[in-house]
Amino acid sequence: MLVFSCFAFYLLFRTPAAGAHRQQIVHHDPAAPSYVKKIVAVGDLHGDLRNAQKVLRMSGVIDSFGDWSGEVDTLVQTGDIIDRGDDTILLFRYMDTLRGQAAAMGGEVLSIMGNHEWMNVIGDWRYVLSSEIKTFGSVQSRQRALSSQGWLGSTWWSNYTLTTRLPLHPMLGPPNTDYSPLSSIPSSISHSALSFVHGGLSPSFSSLTPYPSRPNAVARSLLHKLLTRHPSPLPHPPNPYPGLPPDATEEEHELYGGDGPLWYRGWALGTEREVCGHVDDVLDKIGARRLIMGHTPTFTNIVSRCDGKIIIIDTGISHAYGGVLSALAIHYTLTPNSTTYDFESGTQEYIEREVVSAVYEWKNEVLLDERRPVRGWWEGWD
């Protein structure tokens, strides 16, 4: 019977959905985790490759040569790589290099566009340094790079999203699987996922669900209009602010608006009562445990609010701000609870544990250490 249970477990975790992730199947020690996933999230980088690499190194994402180490399964970067510094080309190329190396080792890099990436495709170049334009050669070649024909526009189109739903429990499938309130996944597991976006998913945002496919589709539709705008708008300044294209829809305007996911600061700036009173509504709808975002910096530390339901990871990493170097690390495990083994059904309970830490240059701070029994998720395997 025990053998059967291990086998059922093995079958579950070798489904194609989970197959993309590095995983450990342990048969001999009942107290050892049967599934391990390590995630690192990094906030706004603003044109500073050196500090970006320091952060990736101290959180174990890369080795001392700057290559993907394989110690971490998933890196999420929540946008604002561009502006305020000179390393635009180096940073976006580096992210693509890591993405390739990660994929070759069974890991993944999930990239999110921030409001500054969008400003640049719109033609709002207020935070572009003239020294940075020189790295592209000229204004014209920078504009070309930012179009659908250019390398930067192409990688944003292919490798970046507006928002990401990252499942923790392997039963929830690969990254960006939609949350469906009607699915048969047991309620103890259905929200075992993290949500990442640059600014914030406000309670009033009307294109929220199904999450994340709907907001990502609205973003793609707008991005397509911007990348293919011909001729490219002349950059502002010195030219007037070009704004969104004339054929942008109402939904697309809302997406790029002050309360849209790119610019919203409510989760960071609202009072404890406002924020903690509304966060569950959003988490319920999107099938996630936590909203993780950058955009609103606190220059001293990563901020966890409402028992970790909201985590803000922008600490002003770039030398343009001189804040602290930081990364968020999530260590997720599933461990069988052998005392719950049921001979009749050949199943047992698992203990899901999530340790969320803020990693700084000289210290690690555990923000949360949560354990939950996971029940019923083996249904359908008997």
Which residues form the interface with ligand NAG (CB under 6 A)?
96, 99-100, 103, 151, 154-155, 158-159, 337, 339-340, 351, 373
Minimum distance of ligand NAG from residue 105's CB (angstroms): 12
Residue 108: partners with Cβ closer than 8 Å, 6 or more residues away: 20, 73, 74, 75, 99, 102, 175
Q: Which residue has the tokens 């790079």?
A: 145
Cα(143)–Cα(201) distance, integer angstroms: 30
Smallest separation (angstroms) from ligand NAG to the CB of 49 = 17
Q: Taking the complex as a whole, how short is the minimal distance between the CB of residue 89 and ligand NAG, in angstroms?
A: 13
Report d(CA 160, CA 236) in Å as an integer.
Answer: 24
Residue 237: CB minimum distance to ligand NAG, A? 29
Q: How many residues does the chain have?
A: 382
Strand order in the sheet with 310-312: 163-167, 193-197, 290-293, 310-312, 303-305
Tokens of 53: 């690499």
Nearer residue to ligand NAG within complex by CB, 85 or 336: 336
Nearer to ligand NAG, 84 or 99 (CB): 99
CB of 188 vs ligand NAG, minimal distance in Å: 13
CA-based nearest residue to 355, from 377, 339, 331, 325: 331
Letter for the amino acid at 270?
Answer: G
3-state secondary structure of 150: coil
Residue nearest to ligand NAG (CB): 155
> Would you state the torsion angle of the CA atoms of residues 11, 23, 109, 319, taken in this order, to the nearest 10 degrees?
150
Q: Which is nearer to ligand NAG, 138 or 340 (CB)?
A: 340
Identify which of residues 29 and 284 has a Cβ nearer to ligand NAG in the complex. 29
User: Minimum distance between the CB of residue 96 and ligand NAG, rounded to whole angstroms?
Assistant: 4
